[in-house]
């Protein structure tokens, strides 16, 4: 389309068309703001490859919290030879008879590689017990052993980073509603999604127990409020960049995370406990 033709169509467009165009413009500006940080991720990759280091990033959160979108922004310009996104499905009969962590360990990075887990072994901390996909004993065993498992990863010089995307109940419902009506997103809506809103309080309780048991100095959680997708994506990238002291860092960029939406696991626990005292229930 010629530029003048575009201007003519814009002039003739109705209000909804102009609003759509404005939203696309805002998305373009957000993407442009993110690109310098995405370029830093490439440098981080080069550093890991040069020194044969390994990195694991866990991306956790409720359904519709923005995990997939953040992973796409993180990996968009990365060298595909040196990263993998792992999203494991339902375990096979053989896998259910194995050590719980085994099928995840099989996906661990080689030297110079980043592996991003789109959901991880923390399925056993929230989804599985709520939907009775595991026994109480299996849940208890996991909670008692996962911290030592993660400490071993760090002891073996794996750069390990856990991100939890925290979405509000209202925003989750809006995103589920969009999946129901949007032909391009219907595939995202699962039977479990339908029950997520009904089990909101159960998930919040399990989230608290998970953070309380598994946030540590060696293996901390980073909590990101993800109602605003762009801010969540950008802060996720910044948090990954801050995990590695890589070479040739662009010092003109601001790597400070946004304290309005980014919390340590310890701070999130404190906030949740304050909500419990004040309202009688967990909120976030």
Q: Which CATH number characterizes residue 181's domain?
A: 3.40.50.300
Q: Is residue 284 part of a domain?
A: no
256 has a pLDDT exceeding 80: yes
Question: Quick check: is 234 in a domain?
Answer: yes
Residue 256: helix, strand or coil by DSSP?
coil
Q: Is 123 inside any structural domain? A: yes
Nearest to 180 by CA among 33, 14, 275, 64: 64
Is residue 238 within 8 A of residue 179, CB to CB? The reply is no
Listed residue (248, 202, 232) closest to 50, CA to CA: 248
Which of these, 189, 232, 249, lies nearest to 72 by C-alpha position?
A: 232
pLDDT of residue 233: 98
- Specify which residues 221 forms β-bridges with: 162
| H-state helical runs in the chain | 3-12, 15-50, 67-75, 93-96, 102-105, 127-130, 136-155, 169-181, 191-196, 200-214, 229-241, 265-279
Is the pLDDT reported for residue 236 higher than 80? Answer: yes
Q: Evaluate whether residue 121 is within a structural domain.
A: yes
pLDDT at residue 206, rounded to an integer: 97
Q: Band of the pLDDT at 22, cuts 50, 70, 90?
A: confident
- Looking at the domain assignment, is residue 127 inside a domain? yes
Q: What is the pLDDT of residue 99?
A: 98
Q: Considering the chain, what percentage of its residues have pLDDT values greater than 90? A: 82
The chain-wide mean pLDDT, for the chain, equals 94
State the number of CA atoms in the 13 A half-sphere of 126 facing the CB: 26
Q: Calculate mean pLDDT across residues 7-29.
A: 82
Residue 87's pLDDT band, with cuts at 50, 70 and 90, is: very high
What is d(CA 268, CA 284) in angstroms, rounded to the nearest whole number? 9
Torsion region of 206: left, alpha or beta (phi above 0 gives left; psi -120 to 50 gives alpha): alpha
Q: Structural domain of residue 60, as residue ranges? A: 3-279
How many structural domains compose the chain? 1
pLDDT band at 92 (very low <50, low <70, confident <90, very high): very high
pLDDT score, position 17: 80
Q: Tell me whether residue 115 is in a domain.
A: yes
Give Cβ neighbours of residue 273 (< 8 Å, ≥ 6 apart).
Answer: none
Which of 178, 224, 211, 201 shows the shortest CA–CA distance to 64? 178
> Looking at the domain assignment, is residue 107 inside a domain?
yes
DSSP state of 92: P
């Amino acid at each position: 389309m010629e530029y003048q033709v575009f201007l003519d169509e814009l002039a003739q467009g109705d209000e909804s068309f102009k609003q759509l165009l404005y939203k696309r413009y805002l998305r373009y500006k957000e993407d442009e703001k993110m690109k310098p940080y995405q370029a830093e991720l490439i440098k981080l990759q080069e550093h890991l490859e040069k020194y044969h280091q390994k990195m694991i990033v866990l991306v956790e959160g409720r359904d519709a919290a923005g995990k997939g979108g953040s992973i796409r922004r993180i990996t968009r310009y990365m060298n595909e030879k040196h990263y993998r996104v792992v999203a494991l499905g339902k375990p096979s009969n053989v896998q259910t008879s194995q050590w719980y962590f085994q099928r995840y360990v099989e996906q661990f990075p080689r030297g110079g590689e980043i592996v991003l887990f789109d959901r991880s072994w923390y399925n056993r901390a929230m989804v599985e017990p709520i939907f009775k996909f595991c026994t109480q004993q299996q849940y208890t065993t996991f909670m008692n052993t996962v911290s030592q498992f993660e400490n071993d990863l760090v002891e073996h010089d794996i750069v390990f980073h856990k991100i939890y995307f925290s979405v509000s109940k209202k925003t989750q419902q809006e995103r589920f509603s969009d999946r129901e009506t949007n032909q391009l997103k219907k595939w995202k809506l699962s039977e479990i999604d339908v029950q997520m809103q009904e089990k909101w309080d159960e998930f919040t309780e399990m989230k608290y127990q998970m953070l309380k048991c598994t946030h540590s100095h060696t293996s901390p959680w980073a909590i990101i409020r993800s109602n605003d997708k762009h801010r969540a994506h950008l802060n996720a990238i910044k948090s990954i960049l801050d995990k590695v002291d890589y070479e040739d860092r662009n010092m003109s960029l601001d790597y400070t995370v946004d304290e309005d939406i980014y919390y340590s696991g310890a701070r999130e626990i404190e906030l949740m406990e304050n909500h419990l005292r004040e309202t009688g229930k967990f909120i976030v």
